[in-house]
Chain A
Amino acid sequence: GALVYQYPRRTICKSGTSMRMECQAVGFQATSVAWYRQSPQKTFELIALSTVNSAIKYEQNFTQEKFPISHPNLSFSSMTVLNAYLEDRGLYLCGARDPGVQNTLYFGAGTRLSVL
């Protein structure tokens, strides 16, 4: 079955440093990967949508300069949080679309980022 592995599950970084999270689709080739953030007391916000062979589309309030994404093939994507500060803490989720299951979006377990 379709699975999405996301790692690390938890990470702590010092204010001003950067951290990278990775997302691996297993059992299917993802047509697109979406990255979300759930900040404390908030719902999930879409950061960016990455579709293979297309430019990565960032949502308002999120930029490539702050959240660079790499999507080199149909099964792997990574996102870095550069110069992390308190407002960047939260749960980051990646979701990958499986074209073989009506483009259903499958989510990884998430990466919880704490910033000291």
Chain B
Amino acid sequence: GQQVQQSPASLVLQEGENAELQCNFSSTATRLQWFYQRPGGSLVSLLSNPSGTKHTGRLTSTTVTKERRGSLHISSSQITDSGTYLCAMDDNYAQGLTFGLGTRVSVFP
């Protein structure tokens, strides 16, 4: 079946450091979406792009659909960036998403 693999599983950063989160998926995706999961569980949609690079604030999402991979770059990390980042593959507008297990990011002062 469809799979989404994220790496690393966890990441520890010192405030100000940059981070790169990876996402690989097993079948052709229409687009990749990145979410931040709050401690309470709710999801915040960060970025969604079919291919290429997209920016919002300190976040940059890069998707290479042909190679079935994507990444999320966090620049100048802040303590409030701590949490779980989920990558989800969207392979058909009419279908749901397939989620990865997430990368747990911890940022310390």
Contact = CB atoms under 8 A, between A and B. Distances in A.
Interface of A: 31-32, 34, 36, 38, 42-44, 46, 49, 51, 91, 93, 95, 97, 103-110, 112
Contacts of A107: 35, 42-43, 45
Contacts of B96: 34, 36, 46, 49, 95, 105
Contacts of B88: 44
* Secondary structure dominating the interface of A: strand
A110 to B, nearest CB: 5
Given A43-B86, A43-B102, A104-B48, A109 B42 contact: yes
| Among A31, A42, A97: residue with most chain B CB under 10 A | A97
Given A43-B86, A46-B98, A97 B42 contact: no
Nearest to B90: A105
Given A43-B86, A93-B43, A104-B48, A49 B93 contact: no
A106 B43 CA distance: 9
B70 interface: no
A67 to B, nearest CB: 14
A51 B96 CA distance: 11
A34 B97 contact: yes
A51 B95 CA distance: 9
Nearest to B98: A46
Interface in B31-47: 33, 35, 40-43, 45
A92 to B, nearest CB: 10
A104 B48 CA distance: 8
A106 B102 contact: no
A41 to B, nearest CB: 9
Given A91-B41, A110-B41, A105 B97 contact: yes
Contacts of B35: 107
Contacts of B33: 105
